[in-house]
Amino acid sequence: MAKLEKIKNKMKRDKSIWYLIVPAFIMILLGALAFGGRGTLLPISSNGAEPARPVELSFSDVLRRADEIKTMNIRGSDATGTLDDGTKYTATITYDPELLEKIAAGGASISIDSSKSFWDKTVYWFPLFLWFVFFWMLFRGPRGGISRSIAAQNPTKIMTGNSKKTTFKDVAGIDAEKQELMEIVDFLKNKDKFRALGARVPRGVLLSGEPGTGKTLLARAIAGEANVPFFAASGSDFSGIIVGLGVAKIKEMFEMAKRNAPCILFIDEIDAIGQKRSTQIHNDQDREQTLNQLLIEMDGFANNTGIIVLGATNRVDMLDPALLRPGRFDRQVYIELPDLTGRKQILDLYANRVKLAPDVDLMDVARGTTGFSGADLENLLNEAALHAVRVGHVEITNADMDEARDKIMMGPRKVRKIRDDDKKLTAFHEAGHAFVSQHYADITDPIHKATIIPRGRALGMVQHLPIDDKVSMTIAEVRAQLSIALAGRAAEEIFFGANKITTGAESDIAGATRLARYSITTAGLSDKIGPVAVNQSNTWGGRSALENASEKTAEMVDNELRSWLDAAHGDAVKILTQNRKTVERLAGELLKRETLTGDEIREIILDKKPVKKQPAKSTTKTTTKKKTVVKK
């Protein structure tokens, strides 16, 4: 605690120096104006009346009344004195020896003041002082100002017990990553236990992962658990217009860390200064010098015991290999997107800050947010709270949660006039997706809802609610997903004709193409191509040939891709044609209600019949036939 107080006092002194310089400078100027002016204060007579003001004489008056002048005091071009009758005067004259001899011949007493006033000295020395300050700030500014700039940018040091700390309790959904970093906290608390065995704590830990996964939050939690000073900076803070500024900042930052060791030094977005050094002639010399200084400070001749450097980035591939070697960043912790259990923990953590209705099931919310990061989940609850306030709810309901999720995933709801023909076509399009999804319900995720309310660029959508997180997909699941994706286009063809198909299936076709190409060229699920990786490279947005493949293999990949998509489209057409009336009934209900839940969709498809096993049997048979036909 004493060391922390010393840090705060030093930073206060560094900041307060300017509070002394600026007022002092202002006082100097005010003093110059007050005491260096040309006017004089007139004394007050004993009876309280002001005496007569001095008479102003012109140069010609001085020549004419030279015999009447009794005294004359000359300072520069200004003259003051008294006449024979006691009258005071002021005049502006030109230095002329003949004039002075003439006045002295009349019996006048003449005195010349050649000294300089304070104002004259200030006007003379002030420009030189400005030049001195300019050069002092130019050469001393980067070093003298870095500690204040870092302190100003990063107030997230561990303060006294009155300030709120961030601990591992405030971090949820990444239990494995927290376990990796517990050794850092244990070392900062119990150094002797490690030194007794000759163990060396990692000098640096690199936190990487997708944006919003909690890298910065985890770094603050480490400092909070260890209760040590925490200094933070961004990679962009070390770049500037002046060459060598980044090197000076790196030096000063590590010097400050050494004075306050043990401590944690956190550099966010470290890829800004840690990019790979180039061998080209036209490279960024200043950035590379900054990187070289960082490499030296992290593991040079100096032994920075007690300083643990934490780096955070989502572009590990851009970092220089010298920065990633043991001795600098000894440990790399990749923070993945949270799984189902992690999402539930994150929602539970942030749900304490909002008011949820009793019927809101956070597990259902977690199931419907696959791929969401911790920041996305926090934003989801915030959007739900904003929607609840907007519609006048006193608690966040399931409807608010669904609206917030749809807004984040698809965009805000569009309030626009849609033609009846387009609305009807959209209803049949989404009904096609929903029916084929229910057809393959035994191997795909259950339907959450279907809607024809436009959002973003989409006129409608069918959402699924995963039961759990999938780490892989079987070939049967891949083919079922392809059929579901192309079922919307198939419904348009069946119910409106081939000449009435629209561009609404653009995203469906793009998604199906990506899934099919991945399955064929990367996952090795094609019998014709085999288990060979023929990934298509796409550098800087340009198109190029397939890697590790000849022209013949590339042509085989294109033919196999078309075969998979044609088979999926044919399968969707077959399923919808055989159940035409049911699909029409489902589309009609969508036109009436605009949104159908998963239970409502299943009731419409099953027509509320008590026997519910028959569709499952037909689904299994159809799926088996589909597999056989496609493999041919």
Query: Is the four-CA dihedral 626, 629, 630, 631 of positive or negative sign?
Result: positive
d(CA 362, CA 401) in angstroms, rounded, equals 10
Q: Which element (helix H / strand E) includes 83?
A: strand 78-83
d(CA 273, CA 281) in angstroms, rounded, equals 19
**Whether 600 is catalytic:** no
Do you know the residue count of the chain?
A: 632
d(CA 498, CA 61) in angstroms, rounded, equals 112
d(CA 265, CA 205) in angstroms, rounded, equals 10
The label of the residue with tokens 């030279």 reads 66
* 531 secondary structure, DSSP code: S
Structural contact between residues 34 and 28, judged by C-beta atoms closer than 8 angstroms = no
DSSP characters over 256-269: HHHHT-SEEEEEES
The label of the residue with tokens 């990487």 reads 208
Residues facing 204 on adjacent strands: 309
**Identity of residue 310:** L
The label of the residue with tokens 């900076």 reads 233
Rg (CA), the chain: 41
Q: Which element (helix H / strand E) includes 597?
A: strand 595-597
Among 128, 147, 138, residue whose Cα is nearest residue 17: 147
**Identity of residue 486:** L
Q: Which element (helix H / strand E) includes 91?
A: strand 88-92
Structural contact between residues 177 and 284, judged by C-beta atoms closer than 8 angstroms = no
d(CA 632, CA 627) in angstroms, rounded, equals 9
d(CA 48, CA 56) in angstroms, rounded, equals 24
Tokens describing residue 513: 């193409």
DSSP characters over 390-448: HHT-SSB-HHHHHHHHHHHHH-SBP-----HHHHHHHHHHHHHHHHHHHHTTTTSPPEE
The label of the residue with tokens 């020549």 reads 63
C-alpha pair distances (Å), 465 with each of 346, 366, 449? 18, 9, 9
d(CA 282, CA 293) in angstroms, rounded, equals 20
Torsion of CA 218, 222, 224, 229, to 10 degrees: -120
DSSP characters over 270-301: GGGT-BPPP-SSS--HHHHHHHHHHHHHHHSS
Neighbours of 59 (CB within 10 A): 14
* 179 secondary structure, DSSP code: H
Name the catalytic one among 269, 430, 492, 589.
Answer: 430
Structural contact between residues 456 and 411, judged by C-beta atoms closer than 8 angstroms = yes
Count Cα atoms within 13 angstroms, Cβ side, for 369: 34
Neighbours of 390 (CB within 10 A): 10
Catalytically annotated residues:
430
